[in-house]
Amino acid sequence: MLTGNKNTSWKFFSWFFALALMSPIVVMLWGSINTSSDLFTHLWATVLPEYIRNTLVLGVLVALLSFCFGVPAAALISQTNIVMGKQLRWLLMLPLAMPAYLVAYLYTDLFDYAGPVQRLLRAWFDWQSPNDYYFFDIRTIGGAAVVIALVLFPYVYMLTRTAFEQQDRNLLRASRLLGCTERQSFYQVALPLARPAIAVSLALVTMETLADFATVQYFAVNTLTTAIYDTWLGYSDFAAANAIASVLMLFILFIVVAEQRARAGQRHQSSRPNTEHERKQLSFAQQIIASIFCWFLVFSGFLLPVILLLAMAVDYADYNQLVALIATGKNSIKIATYSATIATLIALMLALFQRLHQSRARMIPLQISGFGYAIPGTVLAMAMLATFGPLDHAINDVAKAFDFKAPGLILSGTIFAIVFAFVVRFSAIANGTINAGIGQIPKSLDLAPGSLGVKTLSTIFRVHLPLLKSSILVAWLLVFVEAMKELPAVLLLRPFNFETLSTQIYQLISDERLEQGALGAILIVLFGLLPIIFLNRQKDSK
């Protein structure tokens, strides 16, 4: 399909970008080679087994909970006549706008022994000490898993719902004609058809969980990321930290491969526009249960945290805070915009390469460019320094050799490093979204213009890009939101006098003074709402 010069240059750039995004990972693996075995023996004998256990348990629990939250919600919204379905349809996406570390802080604060809920209970029932009553301990793996799942399940919900909605109705009708009950046709046809979407979203959720540090810290749950921090910052052993990060990568690689295996050989493209279909009519009791379920998710994943933040903002916010927010907000938007744009362009290029190119290894660039999602932000930041530090040195050395003024650290000491880190980290999201969009385009369309004598590039511009318009925007917005929320990489890589909304909030949270950052937190959430509003409007206008 692709021929001539364009073919090679496209191939070259695809591989180039994919390898560039891979480079921090390679640097990380390389850096782990010189690990001293002493420290490992010590860690293994003391804390590491517990950390690994916690990591696995947390990953499995979050995946399980996200599945239990997301899939039924998707089914209820897309297949039944649930009351207020039209509103719930987008309300259920709102938790995506909440940074996990923020929700974690709010919930641990709320349900902690010293928090308002338990204080109120004690005041009501005149309990004096923890021995007088039972209350669940929020700072446990279970607590962490529930809270993380509450903000991550929308990924599962979103992708699964889309899968349900875009299913070929004829298949479902056929199954009914062949004698399936409504229930059978859901479990035997609709659900299996949605399997790829469920698998992709669960993989994303698990990766996000495993790479997390700030959130688990509030829950006092020690995971492999704790071990990475300990070895790097405590024992100052960067090599060992890299080695543990590599182990984490292996876990995640396993998830990615498992996910792809699960999808292997499944291709189903609906070439029919999706017409409004008959929805299952819920009985009154079913309506109530379904509504409680969906509203519980909306309330605990979004409304409650926002109410808590608003209450704080009302009490504490003032004009000066607002002024300071504008500058930090601008920084956040700036890096988020750059990251989203670059990540989307690269994803587009790689996904189209995979689709239209004929070389045997055409899948590889897309796949390897998504690995960065699995690297904890801090490790990624370190890898950035390790990658761009030497490059910067080379640039300065050359400049000096030719008697120019040394330009300084133009790569590792500027927002370049932050944007690069974000692109590495969030490419998986852009890739997934755009690739899913391409998957929806029937393959016959790749060939059709060709047979009419139209060139490849112009096929892409006339056929693929218009069809991908919404996927491109969704990918852009998702990366934008994630970049607004991201914390550890900015903390470590930021240049002088550079504060973002997330760094500011983190600073205040670590002082137990979130009240004063509530306004900024609300701002992050508001920006997080943008893609959701957009997605919703778009669906409505269809």
Partner 1 sequence: MLHKIWFSSFVFVALLGASIHVAANDDVNVYSYRQPFLVEPLFNEFTKETGIKVNVVFAKQGMAERLAREGEYSPADILLTTDISRLIELKEKDLLQAAESTELTEAIPAQYKALDNTWYALTTRVRNIYSAKRLGEIDFNYEDLADEKYQGKICTRSGKHPYNVALVASMIAEHGEAYTLTWLQKVKANLARKPQGSDRAQVQAIHQNLCDISLGNSYYFGNMLKDEKQKVWADAVYINFPNQSNRGAHVNISGMAMAKYAPNKANALALMNFLVSAPAQKMYAETNMEYPVRPGVEPSKLVASWGQFKADNLSLETIAKQRKTALILLDKAQFDL
Q: How many residues of this chain bind partner 1 (CB under 8 A)?
A: 65
Helix (H, G, I), strand (E, B) or coil at 280: strand
Distance from C-alpha of 271 to C-alpha of 533, rounded to nearest angstrom: 27
Distance from C-alpha of 274 to C-alpha of 461, rounded to nearest angstrom: 24
Of 64-72, 88-96, 428-436, 512-520, which part binds partner 1 (CB under 8 A)? Answer: 512-520
Distance from C-alpha of 524 to C-alpha of 111, rounded to nearest angstrom: 24
Going residue by residue from 442 to 481, which x/- string records binding to partner 1, judged by CB under 8 A?
Answer: ---------------x---x--------------------
Residue 135 CB, shortest distance to partner 1, in Å, is 11
The token duo for 138 is 């929020």
Distance from C-alpha of 518 to C-alpha of 516, rounded to nearest angstrom: 6
Q: Considering the rule CB under 8 A, would residue 503 count as an interface residue with partner 1?
A: yes
Task: Centre a 10 Å sphere on the Cβ of residue 231 and count the other Cβ atoms it contains.
Answer: 24
Of 68-76, 150-158, 178-186, 230-238, which part binds partner 1 (CB under 8 A)? Answer: 230-238
The one-letter amino acid at 172:
L
Quick one: how far is CA 74 from the chain centroid? Answer: 18
Query: Among candidates 196, 186, 120, which has minimal Cα distance to 163?
Result: 196
Q: Considering the rule CB under 8 A, would residue 114 count as an interface residue with partner 1?
A: yes
Distance from C-alpha of 119 to C-alpha of 126, rounded to nearest angstrom: 10
Run of H or E including 313:
helix 304-316
Give yes or no for a contact between 222 and 244, defined as CB atoms under 8 angstroms apart.
no
Write out the binding residues for partner 1, residues 345-384 only, by CB under 8 A: 345, 378, 381-382
Q: Considering the rule CB under 8 A, would residue 515 count as an interface residue with partner 1?
A: yes
Q: Considering the rule CB under 8 A, would residue 225 count as an interface residue with partner 1?
A: no
Q: Considering the rule CB under 8 A, would residue 310 count as an interface residue with partner 1?
A: no
The token duo for 430 is 């852009």
Q: Considering the rule CB under 8 A, would residue 175 count as an interface residue with partner 1?
A: no
495, 533, 538, 540: residue in contact with partner 1 (rule CB under 8 A): 495
Q: Considering the rule CB under 8 A, would residue 510 count as an interface residue with partner 1?
A: yes
Q: Considering the rule CB under 8 A, would residue 119 count as an interface residue with partner 1?
A: yes
Distance from C-alpha of 235 to C-alpha of 246, rounded to nearest angstrom: 18
Q: Considering the rule CB under 8 A, would residue 234 count as an interface residue with partner 1?
A: yes
Q: Which is nearer to partner 1, 86 or 393 (CB)?
A: 393
Going residue by residue from 38 to 67, which x/- string records binding to partner 1, judged by CB under 8 A?
Answer: ----xx--xx--x-----------------
Q: Considering the rule CB under 8 A, would residue 232 count as an interface residue with partner 1?
A: yes
Helix (H, G, I), strand (E, B) or coil at 497: coil
17, 238, 373, 527: residue in contact with partner 1 (rule CB under 8 A): 238
Give yes or no for a contact between 525 and 450, defined as CB atoms under 8 angstroms apart.
no
Distance from C-alpha of 79 to C-alpha of 191, rounded to nearest angstrom: 11
The one-letter amino acid at 1:
M
Binding site for partner 1 (CB under 8 A): 42-43, 46-47, 50, 113-114, 119, 128-130, 139, 218, 220, 222, 229-230, 232-236, 238, 334, 338, 341, 345, 378, 381-382, 385-386, 389, 392-393, 396, 406-410, 412-416, 419, 457, 461, 491-492, 494-499, 503, 506-507, 510-513, 515
